[in-house]
Amino acid sequence: MEAAFDGFLRYLRVERNASELTRKSYAEDFASFLDYCQDRLGSVPRPAEADIPCLRGYLTYLHECGYQRTTIARRLACLRSLFRYCCREQMCSSNPAKALRTPRVGRKLPHYLNSREVAALLEAPPANEAAGLRDRAILETLYTAGLRVAELVSLNIGDWDRDANIIRVRGKGKKERIAPIGSYADKALSRWLDVRENGPRSTADDQQALFLNKFGCRLTTRSIGRMIEKYLKQTGLSDKTSPHTLRHSFATHLLDGGADLRSVQELLGHKSLTTTQIYTHVSAARLRDTYEKAHPHAK
Q: Show which residues are catalytic.
A: 148, 172, 244, 247, 270, 279
d(CA 225, CA 229): 6
- HEC states along 229-296? HHHHHHHCCCCCCCHHHHHHHHHHHHHHCCCCHHHHHHHHCCCCHHHHCHHHHHHHHHHHHHHHHHCC
Sign of the torsion angle spanned by Cα atoms 105, 31, 5, 53: negative
Is 218 strand, coil or helix? strand
Instruction: Report CA torsion sign: 289, 293, 298, 299.
Output: positive
State whether residue 97 is helix, strand or coil. Answer: coil
> What is the C-alpha separation between 187 and 234, in angstroms, rounded?
23
Q: Which residues touch 20 (CB under 8 Å, ≥6 apart)?
A: none
